[in-house]
Amino acid sequence: MDIQHAVAQPPLVIRREDYRPPAWLVPDTRLAFDIDPAATRVHATLSVLRNGAHSEPLRLDGAGQTPLSVVVDGVAVNDWRVEDDQLFIPLSGDAHSIETEVEIAPDRNTQLMGLYASGGNICTQCEAEGFRRITFFPDRPDVLSRYSVRLTADRARFPVLLANGDPVAQGDAGEGRHWAEWNDPFPKPSYLFALVAGDLQVNRDSFVTESGRTVELGIWVRAADLPRTDHALHALKLSMAWDERVYGREYDLDVFNIVAVDDFNFGAMENKGLNIFNSRYILADPDTATDYDYDGIAAVVAHEYFHNWSGNRVTCRDWFQLSLKEGFTVYRDQGFSADQGSAAVKRIEDVRGLRAAQFPEDSGPLAHSVRPDEYQEISNFYTATIYNKGAELIRMMATILGPTAFRAATDLYFDRFDGIAATCEDFVACMEEASGKDLTQFRLWYSQAGTPRVSASLEHQPGGGRATLRLGQRVPPTPGQPVKQPMLLPLKIRLFGAETGRPLTDERLVLLDSNSETIVFEAVTERPVLSINRGFSAPVVIESDRSPADLAFLSRHDDDPFARYEAMQQLMLDTLVAGAVEGRADHEAAIAAVADTLDNPELDRAFVAEAVLLPSEAFVGDQLSSVDPEAIFRAREALRRDLGRRLEDRWRTAYAQAPQIPYVYSPEEKGKRRLRNVALGYLAAAGVPDAATLAFRQFEVADNMTDRQAALTTLVSSDDDLRIAALDIFYNRYADNPLVLDKWFQTQALSSRDDAAATVAALAEHPDFTLANPNRARSLVGAFGVNQRAFNRPDGAGYRFLADQLIALDRLNPQTAAKLLPPLGRWRRFDEDRAALMREQLERIVAQPGLSKDLFEQASKSLD
């Protein structure tokens, strides 16, 4: 066990305004690794250059190691000291060669940061501050260095030796050992360093770039996983071509390798020329991966590949600028995915994700701006705000600029900042320069946290008169930011005629830049209905006074697919809120709108499936001043049951659309499967007598995981004994596949049965459960935290369970523990009794001796 971050004194706060350029630069870095899982020697040779006129010593970051030796210009020295994990070396001249040697133990590295072991192989994760756990170095993103790396390891155990860049040479090292050398010609920050030593097989292909260079591609996995790598490899080639076509970005090395590992703290990592992935974002075949998994793999492969330009060639000056690479890269991968299938459905999924993860973050105790001002632990800032709200900021700028100017602006950005550690400000300045547009006010999006709320009300003078649209905005207070200024909100707007269903205006882009504004439309001949925030042009909450009838109207007539979906969601949401607050609601408008959507043959099946799905319990809760999980659950079940019963024939018809066999992964087939499984869910909600039999038959005959897991999900929330049989069959069939076992845990953690909390507690004792593997921990503990009703049981058992798990996990893997904390921080949103129970657990966590600074920061902020 090694916890470096025991909290003794008040934690150190890092502030953006304290940024200073590095005192020393490191133009060249040579690393020699003598790999041994229990004791790996790392010998580092750094050429260092004094940066400007100063007399500061060289200061290198470490993390608990003691140097075995320090050599300056070839001579061993002993006037160095280690203080607060940093190695200080006094230097007299302006340029020196520094050598250090340390010994580290990858097989005892349970944090999975730095050099660690996974499934017998050795790999790295350095972003954000893992490199210092490997060797002494100025571990900050604005120190760019050229790396050459030599790996030596046992040939039988580690036949494959990989690092960044291009392979240079390899050979025999005697005594059963071998070596390989890699050279990365592109200067990079230490967070992009990577190596892998393992017993791996490769799926190879090649890609010829726009300018005619051939790049060797390889996806490296355990031999048994090789047949499940084709989808990822295909996605990689599509990504390479897409980035050339859409952003003019070509790949720059002769090789591009991806390695999949089972133990990984997040999705994947964009190390230069050697991406390392959580295996769940590489491995897929129809029998083990769902359509969502296939989509996720393509998106993450694209994301990491796109980082080669947005992140690696142009990197970040400091970690406050994280969204510079992450927001932009998410925006880029969203564009890629939109181009692979239905752009409308992709937008709907992205907005649903934003509302599920980012909106709650932005309205809770951990709210922070897209470019934060301070942090205690940077790992806690890899958030939905930095990634997904950050992507929305880029999208808004693209909307304001228009496609041509936006492309000119990204060209300018890549060109001007190639090889440079840049800032969010640099990016916005390129947007302005290339377009001539003033984004002064827009910059508030980077500094102000909180989701803006926009009020919209439309009045019409009957008899062919004027229509007046009154818009208002309000940005709610967030921790440390009590008062907000009005933001620049790009809102796409259009009016439709209530009688004819036809558009009355063109789509217009309104740039709302003040607290209130009035827009007048002349000569509006019939009663207009407002379509606003079309395409979700701004990441805001719209509060409009549109009636259920108008929302139902838009769900039938709006020409913007997102707005159409949104109208339906708003209608359902209003119905559910009424149901939760008043105990009953009128379901008629929602039922009619769902029926019409199902009946419309022109709509794509995937769109229909999204549109007829009810908002989540959590999203309904977000609309209420105090969340009542039981009332929300009851209201939602009641609407589901009514929709199921009243539209039973339609669900049966949709369900009867036989799937294609064998499985085909295409937008079309995906849409059909999705709608069929949504139909199955509604039939089960209706309580039709054959629901469990239908689900169980689907579970048994399915030739793919999408249908099998959907059937299992339906059964697992039912009272039918077939659920026990299905869980057993599933478990036995996939006992040796960890990614599928994760689904077995997750499906049960998300069950809506009354005994879900007890089941989860029992599963935590299951022999296959372990906190040491982040995917497994997330599949049970993480999934349970989003099961609103089970987690928030009035007796507080859910809160105690989560706290117990986090305290145990923190001893192994603080980063992953801290990620799972947010559900406990939502106490302000609940009644007094629940709030007290949640706070009790937060206080218990904060009081733990030896708590990591990761978990300390999140838990203590959540108590404020």
Residues with active-site annotation: 304
Binding site partner of 269, from ligand ARG, Zn ion, none, Cβ cut-off 5-8 A by kind = ligand ARG
Nearest approach in angstroms of CB 556 to ligand ARG is 40
Q: In the complex with ligand ARG, which residue's Cβ is closer, 258 or 568?
A: 258
CA distances from 607 to 601, 612, 675 (A): 12, 9, 9
Binding site partner of 379, from ligand ARG, Zn ion, none, Cβ cut-off 5-8 A by kind = ligand ARG
The two beta strands, 421-422 and 315-316, are parallel
Q: Where are the beta strands (DSSP E) in 435-527?
A: 453-460, 467-474, 489-497, 508-512, 516-521
Binding site partner of 574, from ligand ARG, Zn ion, none, Cβ cut-off 5-8 A by kind = none
Give Cα 241 distance to the centre of its chain. Answer: 24
Binding site partner of 163, from Zn ion, ligand ARG, none, Cβ cut-off 5-8 A by kind = none
Nearest approach in angstroms of CB 745 to Zn ion is 26
Q: In the complex with ligand ARG, which residue's Cβ is closer, 269 or 282?
A: 269
Q: In the complex with ligand ARG, which residue's Cβ is closer, 315 or 570?
A: 315
Binding site partner of 268, from ligand ARG, Zn ion, none, Cβ cut-off 5-8 A by kind = ligand ARG
Binding site partner of 333, from ligand ARG, Zn ion, none, Cβ cut-off 5-8 A by kind = none
Length of the chain equals: 864
Residue from 640, 747, 634, 727 nearest 683 by CA = 640
At 187, which helix (H) or strand (E)?
strand 177-188
Residue from 697, 824, 722, 788 nearest 364 by CA = 824
Q: In the complex with ligand ARG, which residue's Cβ is closer, 627 or 812?
A: 812
Residue from 352, 357, 391, 388 nearest 568 by CA = 352
* Residue 3: CA count within 13 A, CB half-sphere: 19
Burial class, 667, CB count within 10 angstroms (exposed 0-12 / middle 13-18 / buried 19+): middle
Order of all β-strands in the sheet with 81-83: 58-61, 86-89, 81-83
- Name the 3-class secondary structure at 275: strand
Binding site partner of 349, from ligand ARG, Zn ion, none, Cβ cut-off 5-8 A by kind = none
Nearest approach in angstroms of CB 302 to Zn ion is 11
Residue 137 sits at φ, ψ, to 5 deg, of: -165, 150
Q: In the complex with ligand ARG, which residue's Cβ is closer, 382 or 607?
A: 382
Specify the stretch interacting with Zn ion by CB under 5 A; choose among 79-87, 320-328, 406-414, 553-561: 320-328
Q: In the complex with ligand ARG, which residue's Cβ is closer, 377 or 707?
A: 377
Residue 93 sits at φ, ψ, to 5 deg, of: -95, -170
Cα–Cα distance for residue pair 218/827, rounded to 1 Å: 47
Cα–Cα distance for residue pair 747/710, rounded to 1 Å: 9
404 neighbors 436 (Cβ within 8 angstroms): no
Binding site partner of 538, from ligand ARG, Zn ion, none, Cβ cut-off 5-8 A by kind = none
Member of 61, 99, 243, 326 binding ligand ARG (CB under 6 A) = 326
CA distances from 556 to 213, 600, 608, 671 (A): 50, 9, 12, 20
Q: Name residue 141's amino acid.
A: P
Q: In the complex with Zn ion, which residue's Cβ is closer, 390 or 561?
A: 390
Specify the stretch interacting with Zn ion by CB under 5 A; choose among 132-140, 244-252, 326-334, 849-857: 326-334
Binding site partner of 702, from ligand ARG, Zn ion, none, Cβ cut-off 5-8 A by kind = none
Nearest approach in angstroms of CB 125 to ligand ARG is 7
859 neighbors 802 (Cβ within 8 angstroms): no
Binding site partner of 382, from Zn ion, ligand ARG, none, Cβ cut-off 5-8 A by kind = ligand ARG
Residue from 863, 853, 806 nearest 380 by CA = 853
- Which residues, numbered 112-151, are part of the site for ligand ARG (CB under 6 A)? 127-128
Q: In the complex with Zn ion, which residue's Cβ is closer, 329 or 698?
A: 329
511 - beta bridge partners?
A: 490
The interface mask with Zn ion, positions 327-356, x = CB under 5 A, is --x---------------------------
Specify the stretch interacting with Zn ion by CB under 5 A; choose among 103-111, 322-330, 683-691, 703-711: 322-330
Residue from 548, 752, 788, 793 nearest 637 by CA = 752
Q: In the complex with ligand ARG, which residue's Cβ is closer, 127 or 142?
A: 127
The interface mask with ligand ARG, positions 608-637, x = CB under 6 A, is ------------------------------
Nearest approach in angstroms of CB 787 to ligand ARG is 24
Nearest approach in angstroms of CB 416 to ligand ARG is 23
Nearest approach in angstroms of CB 437 to ligand ARG is 29
Nearest approach in angstroms of CB 215 to Zn ion is 21
Nearest approach in angstroms of CB 329 to Zn ion is 5
- Which residues, numbered 261-320, are part of the site for ligand ARG (CB under 6 A)? 266, 268-270, 303-304
| Count of residues in contact with Zn ion, rule CB under 5 A | 2
Residue from 255, 262, 179, 271 nearest 219 by CA = 255
The interface mask with ligand ARG, positions 359-398, x = CB under 6 A, is --------------------x--x----------------
Q: Where are the beta strands (DSSP E) in 503-624?
A: 508-512, 516-521, 528-532, 541-544
Identify the DSSP state of 91: -
| Count of residues in contact with ligand ARG, rule CB under 6 A | 11
Q: Where are the beta strands (DSSP E) in 664-788?
A: none
58 neighbors 85 (Cβ within 8 angstroms): no
CA distances from 649 to 645, 653, 679, 710 (A): 9, 6, 10, 20
Nearest approach in angstroms of CB 329 to ligand ARG is 7
The interface mask with ligand ARG, positions 205-224, x = CB under 6 A, is --------------------
Q: In the complex with Zn ion, which residue's Cβ is closer, 300 or 398?
A: 300
Nearest approach in angstroms of CB 81 to ligand ARG is 29
Binding site partner of 750, from Zn ion, ligand ARG, none, Cβ cut-off 5-8 A by kind = none
* Closest residue to ligand ARG in the complex (CB): 382
693 neighbors 709 (Cβ within 8 angstroms): no
- Which residues, numbered 575-594, are part of the site for ligand ARG (CB under 6 A)? none
Cα–Cα distance for residue pair 762/757, rounded to 1 Å: 9
Specify the stretch interacting with Zn ion by CB under 5 A; choose among 94-102, 318-326, 441-449, 616-624: 318-326
Q: In the complex with ligand ARG, which residue's Cβ is closer, 576 or 820?
A: 820
Cα–Cα distance for residue pair 828/834, rounded to 1 Å: 9
Query: Where does this chain bind Zn ion (CB under 5 A)?
Result: 326, 329
Query: Where does this chain bind ligand ARG (CB under 6 A)?
Result: 127-128, 266, 268-270, 303-304, 326, 379, 382
